[in-house]
Amino acid sequence: MRDFPSCFGENGVQVADSTSSGVSRSTAQNLVTCVYSCKLGGKSCLIIITWSKNLVGQCLSVEIDDWMNQCLCKFDIKPWLFAKRKGSKSFEINSIQVDTYWDLSLAKFGSGPEPLEGFYLAVVFNGEMVLLLGDMRKEAFKKTNATPGFYNAIFVSKKEHIFGKKLYGTKAQFWDNGQNHNLSIECDTVGTDDPFLAIRIDSKMVMQVKHLRWKFRGNQTILIDGLPVEVFWDVHNWLFGPSVGNAVFMFQTCSSAEKLWSSQPFFDSSALLSPCSQNFREFKLQGLGFSLILYAWKNE
């Protein structure tokens, strides 16, 4: 949560440069961070799962923070380095035991760092399955002996680094149990005096920004699955920055958008989108939104 976009201007979005927050082109490769909100012992927490891949191998990081972004515990799993393809780890948070189990021994990967199938990652609190990722659900419940009840973890945000020359693609699911969409961003900034930006969902054009040199930062509302999604973009580095600079895109959903907007006629979107604000935490606690952050890097 610490290097999410943080500054939104009056006429658009100004996204913090990821290179200034410690992320460079070399370290950004194949990195995906997923954030889930949950309650542990009646207290709201964030479970942060980071999948990464480099020349040495795969790495999985599990971190639990409180809602003030204070780290309560964190550990790394490097299955391809140390053969820890399955295992478990227990730790205490405020004298309460939390157990984490994983099995990546049969995991299959694509081009990205996240496994596609053949795995599970489970977080168990007080005998209840708080978070369960992967398709090996039966194996996870058998190993953990957890109660197959209500999963109180809510998927609230995802941060991903994507790469391309003029076309950038990923898969995105904007709502719980929603459809998994193909999302593509097209922007050709070489050999043209008037570049444009195009965003497609499942090959359908949903947004186009012309005269991009004048509109290199901005925001626009689109519809996905019939629901509003606010798109923020900052392509300044692509047009005017260093050759290794990246653009940043954020897709912000709100499952109760109509209710939220009608109840707050002077609602400032920055209050919702800034992860450092109290409003952001309150909205997330109510399950009102999901944020997809994409750092788009140009391949040299």
**pLDDT tens digits, the chain, 300 residues: what are they?**
334 343 333 333 333 333 334 455 555 567 899 999 988 877 889 999 999 987 777 889 999 998 888 888 998 887 665 457 889 999 888 778 899 999 998 999 887 888 989 999 999 998 899 999 999 999 999 999 998 766 578 899 999 999 998 999 998 888 777 788 999 999 988 777 889 999 999 999 999 999 999 999 999 999 998 888 999 999 999 998 776 679 999 999 864 444 343 333 333 333 333 333 343 344 444 445 789 999 999 876
| Residue 86 in domain | yes
Looking at the structure, tell me whether residues 151 and 212 fall in a common domain: no
| Residue 96 in domain | yes
pLDDT value of residue 300? 67
Looking at the structure, tell me whether residues 125 and 81 fall in a common domain: yes
Looking at the structure, tell me whether residues 285 and 260 fall in a common domain: yes
| Residue 8 in domain | no
Looking at the structure, tell me whether residues 151 and 169 fall in a common domain: no
Query: Of 128, 155, 182, which marks where a domain is finished?
Result: 155
Which ranges in 112-221 belong to alpha helices (H)?
Answer: 137-144
Looking at the structure, tell me whether residues 135 and 85 fall in a common domain: yes
Looking at the structure, tell me whether residues 173 and 226 fall in a common domain: yes
Give the span between the Cα atoms of 125 and 285, in whole angstroms: 19
Looking at the structure, tell me whether residues 141 and 169 fall in a common domain: no
Closest by CA to 249, choosing from 183, 189, 153, 181, is 183
Query: Of 95, 126, 155, which marks where a domain is finished?
Result: 155
Please say whether the beta carbons of 31 and 48 come within 8 A.
Answer: no
pLDDT value of residue 83? 59
Give the span between the Cα atoms of 116 and 135, in whole angstroms: 9
Backbone angles phi, psi at 141, to 5 degrees: -65, -35
Looking at the structure, tell me whether residues 242 and 120 fall in a common domain: no
The domain of 224 spans 161-298
Q: C-alpha angle 135/184/187, rounded to 5°?
A: 155
| Residue 7 in domain | no
pLDDT value of residue 53? 85
How is 114-134 classified by DSSP, letter by letter?
A: SEEES-EEEEEETTEEEEEEE
pLDDT value of residue 68? 82
Q: Say how many domains are in the chain.
A: 2
pLDDT value of residue 28? 53
